[in-house]
Amino acid sequence: MEGRQSSEDALAGVKFNEQGLVPAIAQQHDTGEVLMLAWMNAEALRRTVDTREGTYWSRSRGELWVKGATSGNRQEVKSVSIDCDGDTVLLQVDQTGPACHTGTRTCFTGRRIV
């Protein structure tokens, strides 16, 4: 399919920061609703592409985590894209249950500034 790369080719185009991380935005694939922002290292991105499950790097725990592994609120990854600068990942997902650890559908519920 046009525009699609292998996981290794895609990883080569990602610009990780000094900590070896890249921000990843999870968006509901069918509604466009922005669900959450988390961080990925190269291994998290590789596993996400390979398993089609949202896999992230926990900065506080210093380890990989699969979204919903303990809560059941999983993310089935439909697509993975990298922005034009290569410094942000966009995951189109099918979210089961709340995406936010607070129990809300998105991490952006009730916090509008303007």
What DSSP string runs through 19-44? TS-EEEEEEETTT--EEEEEEE-HHH
86-107 pLDDT, tens per residue? Answer: 999 999 999 999 999 899 999 9
pLDDT value at residue 2? 52
Q: Is residue 17 part of a domain?
A: no
Q: Write out residues in the chain with pLDDT < 50, as ranges.
A: 1
In degrees rounded to 5, what are phi and psi of residue 77?
-80, 120
Q: Is residue 2 part of a domain?
A: no
Task: Read off the tokens for 22.
Answer: 């890249």
pLDDT value at residue 1? 43
pLDDT value at residue 7? 61
Domain that includes residue 83, residue range: 23-114
CATH number of the domain at 89, please: 3.10.20.810
pLDDT value at residue 91? 98
Number of domains in the chain: 1
Question: Taking the chain, what is the end-to-end CA distance rounded to the nearest angstrom?
Answer: 40
Q: What average pLDDT is seen over the chain?
A: 92
Q: Is residue 45 part of a domain?
A: yes
pLDDT value at residue 42? 96
Q: Is residue 8 part of a domain?
A: no
Q: Is residue 37 part of a domain?
A: yes
